[in-house]
């Protein structure tokens, strides 16, 4: 017999972890970091390193060795005569243990 309250708690937990990890951050530099088994993600600005580590381990079923985070400040952007702001965000660089991988690119 399955305990329904426990299943409800686990599903809420997974939803919380999905809110922490927003999406992968893919640039030329982060693509080079993949060779060192390091992955970059945009994460929630209020999350800390331990929350990020547990989220990655639960969502991708891998072992995280190290988490480095940085706050990227907002920047002014201009389109013609209009000036706007590029939003502030938090970036996390995750180092995985040997043998673990995250498939960021879809294979046909």
Taking only the tens place, the pLDDT of each residue in 37-61 is: 999 999 999 999 999 999 999 888 9
What structural domains and CATH numbers belong to the chain?
26-96 (3.30.70.330)
| pTM beyond cutoff 0.75 | yes
Measured CA to CA, the distance from residue 90 to residue 48 in angstroms comes to: 10
Q: Which tens digits make up the pLDDT trace of 15-37?
A: 777 889 999 999 999 999 999 99
Which distant-in-sequence residues (6+ apart) come within 8 Å of 20 by Cβ? 43, 44, 47, 51, 52, 55
97 and 63 in contact (C-beta within 8 Å)?
yes
Handedness of CA 82, 72, 20, 18 (dihedral sign): positive
């Amino acid at each position: 017999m399955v305990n329904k309250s426990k299943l409800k708690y686990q599903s809420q937990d997974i939803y919380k972890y999905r809110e922490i990890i927003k999406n992968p951050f893919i640039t030329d530099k982060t693509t080079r970091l993949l060779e060192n088994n390091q992955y970059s993600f945009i994460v929630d600005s209020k999350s800390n390193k331990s929350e990020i580590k547990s989220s990655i381990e639960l969502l991708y079923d891998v072992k995280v060795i190290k988490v480095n985070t940085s706050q990227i400040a907002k920047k002014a952007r201009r389109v013609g005569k209009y000036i706007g702001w590029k939003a502030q965000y938090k970036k996390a660089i995750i180092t995985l243990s040997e043998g673990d991988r995250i498939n960021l690119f879809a294979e046909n």
